[in-house]
Amino acid sequence: MMTTFSRRGLHGHVVDVLGRRIMRGELVSGDIIDQDALLTEFQVSRTVIREAIKVLTTKGLVDARPRLGTYVTERERWQLLDGDVMTWRSEGVPDALLVLELSEVRQVLEPAAARLAAVRRSDEECAEIQAAMSALAATFASTEAESHVKADLVFHRAVLAASGNELLARFEVVLEPALHARNELAFENETTTHFLDSHQAVVTAIVAQDADGAHAAMQLLMNQSARDSETIVSTDAAGAALVKERKQAL
């Protein structure tokens, strides 16, 4: 998992703790944040607390009003694409909505990235994708989910980077925490042969500079990932209801 800026230093620790509380619903929209209580809890200076509040404000999580003080904002104002916010949402018990929305975003972006990669990839980028595929396959010799997750992230980052589009390449910073959450949950139920064959089809098409084939192979991979995500989220009643609601909205 990436180390985010918010976790550095004293004020970073305060930001991290408060950010997690907001994402977990321990602090909800409208709740007042008592800065005097934070001074006692964290045993830091008022300057540290002010700096932490400033960071949370830039992420849209808190704001201040005269005579009201600092409060947690409504969800519509949260910077959901911020790396820290994504990390907080994906840690611990994953946010079901995040897992489903990630699948939808990947279904839109990654097939297009694979198409571009097939056309634009350099020999070096092609070699990196092949190496990432080999490393991913090797992780199935272990039952350790962490190594599998890391290897899968490296593979998808390599494809995004080979697209030749800087915005797509940078998007992996946002995807990493959420992919980590999804893959850790899915690893135990992964069918090795199907999983590797699906990834290898993407590699083969990119190496052959087959743009249509790369798009189609990645689309199949993303569709399977979406089905896996729905299965994961549907393990409880609330998650199953969310899946049903989103399907009915299509």
When pLDDT is cut at 50, 70 and 90, the band that residue 157 belongs to is very high
Would the pTM count as exceeding 0.75? yes
pLDDT above 70 (res 39): yes
% of the chain surpassing 70 pLDDT: 90
Q: Residue 179: which pLDDT band, with cuts at 50, 70 and 90?
A: confident
pLDDT digits (tens, 9 = 90+) for 201-217: 999 999 999 999 999 99
Tokens of residue 197, six digits: 């064959």
CA distances from 198 to 6, 15, 219 (A): 36, 40, 10
Look at residue 191 in the predicted model and tell me its pLDDT: 58
User: Does the pLDDT of residue 61 top 70, yes or no?
Assistant: yes
pLDDT tens sequence across 84-121:
998 888 877 777 888 888 889 999 999 999 999 999 99
Structure tokens at 108: 């839109």
| Structural domains present in the chain | 5-77 (1.10.10.10), 92-248 (1.20.120.530)
Q: What 8-state DSSP symbol labels residue 2?
A: P
Whether pLDDT at 72 is above 80:
yes
**Any idea which of 18-32, 171-185, 197-211 has the lowest mean pLDDT?**
171-185
166: pLDDT strictly greater than 70: yes
Q: Could you give the residue ranges of the DSSP H alpha helices within 143-210?
A: 145-162, 166-170, 172-186, 192-207
Give the other-Cβ count within 10 Å of 2's Cβ.
15
Between 219 and 248, residue with greater pLDDT: 219
Tokens 């991913």 sit on residue: 136
Which pLDDT belongs to residue 2?
44
| pLDDT band of 58, cuts 50, 70, 90 | very high
pLDDT at 198 over 90: yes
Residue type, 217: A
What is the pLDDT averaged over residues 116-140? 96
